[in-house]
């Protein structure tokens, strides 16, 4: 396995960062891109290198424009008759669509296989759901953006195929598993690295609501899933643990740490820096780990196969997710029938 990259920073559901949408050039790659059913449209295209480009999508579901990064395989062309299997990769909270190419070697890993990788924006605290908004609905609809708009636009304009996998870290991992459970048949494989995958587990709703405040000062976190004590029906409808039966037939990969203690890839923090890192990276990982243990047990009860790597020490950060990416990637490629390049 390739040596993991240097730990860049602890990324958790407790860190707040303001992210701006990057402006892109006009959509010259496709003169008249086909829209999604919702009216979502590609309004910008920017090549980054021979295999990677960014697109901007004007999304009615979000009420704004959001970006998507795309890695294409060898021989890809948007005018080809061929379609390619695709991995949809979701980022974590307080991060952006560039995180996978910034923090992992996903471009080099993807180059070994004949598959596309699509990395959409998920918002600072999009939480990978259509926001409840106290029962009124409306924007932002992140689930609709990811599972309808992005998928349709990629398939209608960039030769993405219907053989799909989903993966994500932290809240993006929650999204990958939740989407697979709520949209049966959409994904052949779903992988979560340190995601919250038992949404209604005691204590989890309260923690997520606190995270919502930390992520978006001034925002109302109860808009996301609703009030835990009054809108639990909406929470339950989005809980992978309670939707576990819907995961039958989907290849699954679950990984997370459980102790909250620093592991072999964590920086040697001391003093106050250690306290802060422990509060952020340690607690976040142990909480996520507890939900992975919970879902893994539920899947076993239901006799639904899943590959799990539930480890002990290790904080909520990219060093571990890079390793989990390499462990799960061949399984995803096999599931979506993406051939290895020779």
Sign of the torsion angle spanned by Cα atoms 88, 92, 95, 99:
negative
Q: Which of 206, 167, 164 minimizes the C-alpha distance to 186?
A: 164
Between residues 215 and 286, which one has the greater pLDDT?
A: 286
Q: What is the pLDDT of residue 142?
A: 98
Reported as a pLDDT band with limits 50, 70 and 90, residue 209 is: confident
Model confidence at 16: pLDDT above 70: no
Summarised one tens digit per residue, pLDDT across range 285-324 is: 999 999 999 999 999 999 999 999 999 999 999 999 999 9
Q: Which of 225, 228, 181 minimizes the C-alpha distance to 201?
A: 228
Strand ranges across the sheet with 41-47: 41-47, 52-59, 64-71, 116-120, 84-90, 160-169, 189-193, 251-257, 307-311
* Mean pLDDT, range 53-59, rounded to an integer: 98
Q: Are 73 and 45 in contact (CB under 8 A)?
A: no
Q: What is the pLDDT of residue 2?
A: 38
Model confidence at 23: pLDDT above 50: no
Torsion of CA 149, 215, 168, 41, to 10 degrees: 20
Q: Average pLDDT over the chain, rounded to whole?
A: 90
Q: What is the pLDDT of residue 218?
A: 57
Instruction: Please tell me the distance from the alpha carbon of residue 202 to that of residue 26, in angstroms, as a whole number.
Output: 48
* Mean pLDDT, range 95-109, rounded to an integer: 98
Reported as a pLDDT band with limits 50, 70 and 90, residue 31 is: low
Going from the C-alpha of 312 to that of each of 3, 134, 177, 230, 290, the distances in angstroms are 20, 38, 22, 35, 11
Model confidence at 223: pLDDT above 60: yes
Q: Are 119 and 101 in contact (CB under 8 A)?
A: yes
Q: Are 263 and 278 in contact (CB under 8 A)?
A: no
Model confidence at 87: pLDDT above 70: yes
Q: What are phi and psi of 250, to 5 degrees?
A: -100, 130
Q: What is the pLDDT of residue 277?
A: 85
Q: What is the pLDDT of residue 274?
A: 86
Model confidence at 196: pLDDT above 80: yes
Reported pTM: 0.91
Token pair of 160, please? 């993405």
Model confidence at 53: pLDDT above 90: yes
- For the chain, which domains are there? 41-335 (3.40.50.1820)
* Mean pLDDT, range 238-250, rounded to an integer: 98
Reported as a pLDDT band with limits 50, 70 and 90, residue 126 is: confident
Torsion of CA 40, 164, 286, 202, to 10 degrees: 70
Between residues 258 and 124, which one has the greater pLDDT?
A: 258
Reported as a pLDDT band with limits 50, 70 and 90, residue 124 is: confident
Q: What is the pLDDT of residue 241?
A: 98
């Amino acid at each position: 396995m390739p040596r993991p990259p240097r730990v860049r920073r602890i990324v958790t559901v407790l860190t707040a960062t303001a992210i701006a949408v990057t402006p892109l050039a006009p959509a010259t790659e496709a003169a008249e891109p086909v829209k999604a059913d919702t009216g979502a449209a590609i309004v910008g295209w920017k090549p980054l290198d021979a295999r990677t480009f960014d697109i901007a999508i004007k999304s009615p579901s979000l009420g704004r424009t959001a970006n998507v990064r795309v890695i294409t395989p060898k021989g890809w062309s948007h005018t080809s008759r061929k379609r390619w299997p695709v991995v949809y990769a979701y980022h974590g909270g307080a991060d952006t669509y560039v995180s996978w190419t910034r923090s992992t070697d996903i471009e080099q890993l993807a180059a070994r296989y004949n598959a596309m990788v699509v990395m959409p924006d998920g918002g600072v605290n999009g939480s990978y759901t259509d926001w409840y908004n106290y029962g009124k609905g409306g924007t932002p609809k992140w689930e609709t953006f990811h599972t309808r708009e992005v998928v349709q636009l990629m398939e209608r304009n960039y030769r993405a195929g219907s053989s799909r996998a989903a993966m994500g870290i932290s809240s993006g991992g929650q999204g990958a598993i939740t989407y697979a459970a709520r949209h049966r048949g959409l994904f052949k494989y779903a992988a979560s690295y340190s995601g919250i995958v038992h949404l209604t587990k005691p204590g989890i709703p309260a923690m997520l609501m606190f995270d919502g405040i930390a992520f978006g000062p001034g925002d109302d976190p109860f808009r996301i899933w609703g009030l835990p004590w009054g809108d639990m029906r909406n929470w339950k409808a989005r809980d992978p643990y309670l939707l576990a039966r819907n995961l039958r037939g989907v290849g699954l990969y679950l990984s997370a740490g459980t102790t909250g203690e620093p592991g072999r890839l964590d920086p040697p923090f001391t003093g106050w820096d250690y306290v802060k890192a422990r509060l952020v990276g340690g607690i976040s990982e142990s909480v996520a780990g507890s939900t992975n243990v919970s879902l893994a047990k539920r899947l076993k009860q239901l006799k639904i196969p899943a590959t799990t790597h539930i480890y002990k020490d290790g904080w909520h950060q990219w060093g571990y997710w890079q390793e989990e990416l390499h462990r799960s990637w061949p399984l995803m490629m096999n599931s979506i029938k993406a051939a290895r390049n020779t």
